[in-house]
Amino acid sequence: MSTVGRRTSTPKELVRAADRVSFLYLDRCVVNRDSNAITATDERGTVHIPAAAVGVLLLGPGTTITHQAIALMSDSGSTVVWVGERGVRYYAHGASLARTSRLIQAQAEAVTNSRSRLRVARTMYTMRFPDEDVAELTMQQLRGREGTRVRRIYREHADRTGVEWTGRFYDRTDWDTADPINQALSAANSALYGIVHSVIVALGCSPALGFVHTGHHRSFVYDIADLYKAELTIPAAFDIAAGTSLDIAAETRRHVRDALHDGKLLQRCARDI
């Protein structure tokens, strides 16, 4: 089942936590997706379950769950937990590797104090563009300076590769409306966001507490990912768009994969955070 053009749910469309089924236990079945429902199939047939109505989905022995089902549960704000027979033993969910709250406490303290938040934002900018002195810039000035530098980087790579560049444009609900370079940028950045998100969570930090970006559940992901775009995803996207690839998204992901591996991004990202 294709998910091209599928948009993510908004909070107003989701069932309130207090109104959800607290948990649903499944075992010895295949869990899949059909529109906005998850399906559980065994020898007796298929049952449809509204994903947004489930607080926690407990997967017992003998279950197989598809990528699409996991994607739907995530979009619905539902938790998936792998458990033992009848839910007696708790095995795993997407848990952090951290065993203390030290980093998330430091992050929360820094982001809620205007001076420390600005200090972190200036440090992030300096990590990206070490040739500039931003010691006296305000947050608004930092954002303006950043926008200017990034637009210049786009133009430089357009000149380098011969790719026509008219600006950053994409529609999450319609992939095909974007030109090849914007498709390549979206694919490259999505891969980068996923990697950065995994490192942030693994370290026990909050993806939502951003310093430059704010108001989004992935604000800190965007903050950290921006440290690497000029070096990794932007040149990779222009290189792919300049070629003759028939599958820009797949080719871009492979290109970015190689670049991230060669640059040891996981180690750098953990250190930078």
- 135-152 pLDDT, tens digit per residue, is 999 999 999 999 999 999
157 within some domain? yes
3 within some domain? no
| Shared domain check, 231 and 131 | yes
| Shared domain check, 221 and 109 | yes
207 within some domain? yes
| Shared domain check, 107 and 84 | no
- φ, ψ for residue 75, nearest 5 deg: -65, -30
Task: Provide the H-helix boundaries in 77-216.
Answer: 102-112, 114-128, 139-161, 180-202
pTM: 0.81
| Shared domain check, 49 and 158 | no
CB neighbours of residue 46 within 10 Å = 12
- φ, ψ for residue 136, nearest 5 deg: -110, 5
Domain boundary among 61, 92, 123: 92
191 within some domain? yes
| Shared domain check, 194 and 112 | yes
Q: Which is nearest to 232 in space by CA: 271, 180, 273, 268?
A: 268
| Shared domain check, 147 and 86 | no
| Shared domain check, 157 and 29 | no
- CATH number of the domain that 32 lies in? 3.100.10.20
Domain boundary among 69, 92, 115: 92
Instruction: Give the chain's residues under pLDDT 70.
Output: 1-18, 86-87, 94-95
Write out the two tokens for 219: 């604000």
251 within some domain? yes
The whole-angstrom separation of Cα 242 and Cα 222 is: 26
Q: How far is CA 41 from CA 23, 30, 35, 85, 131, in A?
A: 18, 5, 15, 18, 59
How much is the pLDDT for 130? Answer: 92
Instruction: For residue 123, give its domain range.
Output: 102-272
Write out the two tokens for 165: 């560049």
| Shared domain check, 126 and 82 | no
- CATH number of the domain that 129 lies in? 1.20.120.920
| Shared domain check, 145 and 75 | no
Q: Is the dihedral of CA 220, 226, 228, 234 positive or negative?
A: positive
148 within some domain? yes
| Shared domain check, 216 and 245 | yes
Total structural domains within the chain: 2
The whole-angstrom separation of Cα 200 and Cα 23 is: 27
Instruction: Give Cα 190 distance to the centre of its chain.
Output: 6
| Shared domain check, 224 and 177 | yes
Domain boundary among 73, 92, 111: 92
Q: How many angstroms separate the most distant Cα atoms in the chain?
A: 68
- φ, ψ for residue 113, nearest 5 deg: -105, 125
CB neighbours of residue 120 within 10 Å = 18
How much is the pLDDT for 89? Answer: 79
> For the CA atoms of 224, 196, 107, 56, what is the dihedral angle to 10 degrees?
140
6 within some domain? no
1 within some domain? no
| Shared domain check, 199 and 71 | no
